[in-house]
């Protein structure tokens, strides 16, 4: 329907608004809040660390996640602690979710200036258990595809019993920041002539050649999406 009068189309902001919790206390120049940077870091990974407080003590658990638009979905058993707590917490379970990629080991001439090249995202917010069956199915498909793109369409979907045994929580991307380090070592000027090698050891992420299951049905060939670099 065309706009009339003083009505104007609204465009979602292209960046997340910094808050006290998302502005780093050190190296603030490495922080970023734009959607493109944040989403790219999230989309490249599939393991996150989910932090919450249980009985007054902090708990951090590694788990799978997937991004769908401006939401993250986290998978787990219905018996896991954060999933049980999310179902009971009102208005939601306060959590902190982090994703990190280590891109290189930075070797400096001095031990103090050794570092890492990395990209990370930190998300603060309230987690909610997904109860809508259709949203839950879509989230589970997204979780499978986050690990191997295209896999959800090439596997049997969860049946009613499996869905009942699986829980999914949702975390909106609202209070978010990214942070990254690139480049070589930052040695002190007086150390530049020391006889120690300095530089970066790049780290590479990828898959080795696929190993078929021993009981693979005859005639089932390796799908094309597993042969991509």
Which own/partner contact pairs does 82-87 have at CB distance under 8 Å and 24+ positions apart? 82/50, 82/52, 82/127, 82/169, 83/129, 83/167, 83/169, 85/52, 85/54, 86/127, 86/128, 86/129, 86/169, 87/129, 87/167
pLDDT of residue 29: 86
What are the structural domains of the chain?
28-185 (2.30.110.10)
pLDDT of residue 11: 54
145-191 pLDDT per residue, tens: 999 999 999 999 988 888 888 889 999 999 999 999 999 999 999 99
pTM: 0.86
């Amino acid at each position: 329907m065309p706009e009339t009068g003083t009505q104007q189309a609204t465009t979602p902001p292209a960046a997340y608004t910094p808050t006290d919790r998302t502005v780093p206390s050190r190296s603030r120049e490495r922080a970023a809040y734009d959607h493109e940077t944040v989403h790219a870091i999230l989309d490249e990974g599939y393991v996150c660390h989910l932090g919450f407080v249980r009985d007054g003590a902090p708990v951090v658990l590694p788990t799978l996640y997937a991004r769908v638009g401006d939401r993250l979905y986290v998978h787990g058993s219905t018996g896991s602690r954060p999933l049980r707590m999310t179902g009971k917490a009102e208005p939601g379970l306060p959590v902190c979710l982090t994703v990190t990629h280590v891109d290189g080991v930075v070797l400096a001439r001095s031990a103090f200036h050794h570092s890492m090249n990395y990209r990370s995202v930190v998300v603060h917010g309230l987690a909610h258990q997904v109860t809508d069956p259709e949203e839950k199915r879509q989230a589970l498909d997204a979780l499978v595809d986050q690990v191997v793109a295209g896999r959800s369409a090439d596997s049997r979907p969860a049946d009613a019993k499996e869905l009942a045994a699986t829980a999914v929580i949702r975390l909106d991307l609202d209070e978010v920041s990214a942070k990254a380090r690139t480049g070589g070592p930052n040695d002190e000027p007086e150390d530049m002539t020391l006889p120690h090698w300095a530089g970066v050891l790049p780290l590479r992420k990828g898959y080795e050649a696929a190993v078929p299951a021993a009981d693979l049905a005859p005639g089932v060939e390796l799908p094309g999406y597993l042969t991509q670099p």
